Structure 1
Amino acid sequence: MFAGLGSHRDRALVSLWVSTGARAAELLGARCGDLDAGQQLITVVRKGSRAVQQIPASPDAFVWVRLYQCTLDSSTPVGRDDPLWWTRRRPLRALSYPAARAMFTRVNQVLGANWSLHDLRHTAAYRMARDPQLPLTDVQWVLGHAQLSTTQLYLNPMPSEVIAAVLAHHRRGLDGALPAAVADGGPVSEYRAESLDTLFSRRSS
């Protein structure tokens, strides 16, 4: 999906969404003065509470923001109180939520996907909540959740992770040890000889 984005602006937006967990509208409302690349922070106004909050983002996100800023021509307002995100076409306008959603829709059409802008927030929340070194209360604060129970929803595993974990359980066997072939990077799954004998009624001559 990232490779299908058409500009550094779009890549900067997606990088920030997926690393901050900010709501789409919160990030789109950012001003030039809200960026603090040195501290890897961006200030947003929280939906609902209208609280002003600094939230951390990944280093890569700020690289993409800088690349986007380098594409702006000299007529683009870049004062502290000016919008951070601008349309790519003239007349120049602050990037709106419908325009950002349309950008994402175009990528979906190319890829045959159906992701939404809110899915990026879910991705960020899920990654943070599943990090054992990141307290869930910290994740709650970053996401701007009023209740910890809302953040706890992201602790629910994905079906693919459950399947992988249970298959690993079966590979370990009853004694809790991985078969030597698997431990050495061999086949992911092996049937035991006695199991095959039972399944196919093989008998020694």
Structure 2
Amino acid sequence: MSVNDRWISAYVEALLAEQGASENTRLSYGRDLITFSDWLARRGSDFERATRADVENYLISCEAEGLAQSTRARRLSSIKQLFRFAFEEGWRGDNPAIQIKGPGRAKRLPKTLTEEEVSRLLEAARETGRTPDDRLRNTALMEVLYATGLRVTELVSLPVSAVRGDPRLILVRGKGNKERMVPLSPPARAAVAAWLEVRDAAEDRARKEGGKASPFLFPSSSKAGHFTRVGFYQLIKDVAVRAGVMPSKVTPHTLRHAFATHLLANGADLRAIQTLLGHADLSTTEIYTHVLDERLKELVLTHHPLADG
């Protein structure tokens, strides 16, 4: 076995043992490193002797091949991590890739939905579910998500105490245990009130049978004790089918994006949206201005009287 093969094998094993990396991740890193190994071998070199210039020339060759920016960024990441691992193992006294800056990843604009599509989804939620109680829960889930822009984990794990007393604002605990206040729209408040009636009645029945009260707005028999992220993902696809909206367009995150984009389109302040979404950095929120710009451009190109000229 060559030096390069030994390094790749040991590094990929470490990915599993130390980071719990998935099989796909390990295969991806392995392929990237084999490609770099072959490139070095054709030049009479290997991982032990590779220099910073070798890594830079390899990246130039990748660009010349026409590889996507994201592919080149991933390959550099694989190489950097291999050499860092080799340095920590004492196989090399330096890391030749440590100061190399890659091409980065192109920022993709988040997919979003039109206001009309969201209206159809909210209507469809009222008809989605096996029982009347399920349909009330599903309506509440969808209305709260669009009204607040919550992350899906924040939504499904909402404590029932947050919505007691028909509040216009609810307290949410988000990433990094940070708390923020988000508003509930009148339709969301109505949906929550209707759901609370049947939820509380079911909880009362469970308590009489010796069960414990759930602290969650959307309780379930899952290990976590609340409606799961996977369950909500499946639900939102069912709602999309019923609404006649392409299921591939609809995820919990696209509804969060729709919340932000629609607020911005209707004149909301960017910093207010940042606060509502729980973004630590305004630059994360600013992507929605680009989404809006793209939507406006599309409207002009589609509907301007000279668009066909």
- Fold conserved between structures, TM > 0.5: yes
* 297, 302, 305: which one aligns with 1:162: 297
Quick one: percent identity of the two aligned structures?
A: 22
* 143, 149, 163: which one aligns with 2:283: 149
* 125, 148, 164: which one aligns with 2:260: 125
Given residue 52 of structure 1, which amino acid in structure 2 is its aligned partner?
A: E
TM-score of the pair, normalised by structure 1 = 0.69
Conservation of the 8 A alpha-carbon contact between 2:166 and 2:193: no
Q: How many residues align?
A: 169
Give the Cα separation in 2 of the matches to 1:124 and 1:8.
Answer: 21
Q: CA deviation at 1:101?
A: 1.6
Q: Structure 1: where are the runs of 5+ without partners?
A: 172-188, 196-205
Conservation of the 8 A alpha-carbon contact between 1:8 and 1:64: yes
Give the Cα separation in 2 of the matches to 1:135 and 1:159.
Answer: 19
Conservation of the 8 A alpha-carbon contact between 1:20 and 1:56: yes
Q: Deviations over 1:108-153 (max 9, x none)?
A: 3444522111111000011122232x22111111111111111111
Q: Which residue of 1 aligns with 2:161?
A: 33
Q: Which residue of 1 aligns with 2:234?
A: 102
1:84 aligns with 2:234: no
> Equivalent residue of 2:239, what SS?
helix
Conservation of the 8 A alpha-carbon contact between 2:180 and 2:275: no
Q: Structure 2: where are the runs of 5+ without partners?
A: 1-120, 129-134
Give the Cα separation in 1 of the matches to 2:274 and 2:213.
Answer: 29
- Aligned in 2, Cα 1:154/1:35: closer, same or farther, shift over 3 Å? same
* 119, 122, 128: which one aligns with 1:2: 122
Give the Cα separation in 2 of the matches to 1:147 and 1:80.
Answer: 38
Given residue 95 of structure 1, which amino acid in structure 2 is its aligned partner?
A: F
Q: Which residue of 2 aligns with 1:64?
A: 191
Larger Rg: 2
**Aligned-CA RMSD value:** 3.1
